[in-house]
Amino acid sequence: LLWCFYYLNEKNGLPIAQLLLDAGADPHFVANAGGTILHLAAGSDDSSLEMVKLALNYQDVNHQFRAKSFFWKATYWALKMALRFGATKKAVEVFGHSPGMTALHNAAMFGNSPVVRLLLEAGADKSLCTDLGLTALDISHIFGPFP
């Protein structure tokens, strides 16, 4: 199910995702890195609004992801240490998503303004910060202006 929301577009992904959901796939599954179907649907520069809408039927728009596996927890600790010793926030964010990111942060990182608008209309909290202290607006400034 996660694969559908990340790799497939609306035309071929929506029917497959709906089929999997209808067959009992768990829409609340959290990946080892901490992401959900909503994070994945919003986290692409070519995210499908319909895929995001489908994910919103099952997910809290303000869910902040938290790593489950030791590998990802260690990775995030290393990112925090890199910041402490002078790495720029952009370098850290390019390396990987920080804990505490929401779907809004993901959409902002990819400059996907239609998805950002949809998430805000669905009640996304634009003041939520990642564990690195970044709002979605901060992330959009780091990665450049919206198209």
List average pLDDT for each run of 10 residues in the chain, which is 147 residues long.
75 85 90 81 78 91 76 69 71 62 88 92 94 86 70
Instruction: Give the pLDDT confidence score for residue 92 in this predicted structure.
Output: 58
Instruction: Give the pLDDT confidence score for residue 23 in this predicted structure.
Output: 94
Instruction: Give the pLDDT confidence score for residue 72 in this predicted structure.
Output: 62
DSSP 98: P
Q: What does the block give as tokens for 140?
A: 């959009």
| DSSP character string of 102-132 | -HHHHHHHTT-HHHHHHHHHTT--TT---TT
Domains of the chain: 2-143 (1.25.40.20)
Instruction: Give the pLDDT confidence score for residue 146 in this predicted structure.
Output: 62
Q: What does the block give as tokens for 77?
A: 């600790």
Neighbours of 10 (CB within 10 A): 17
d(CA 33, CA 98): 10
Q: Which pTM does this prediction carry?
A: 0.76
DSSP 33: T
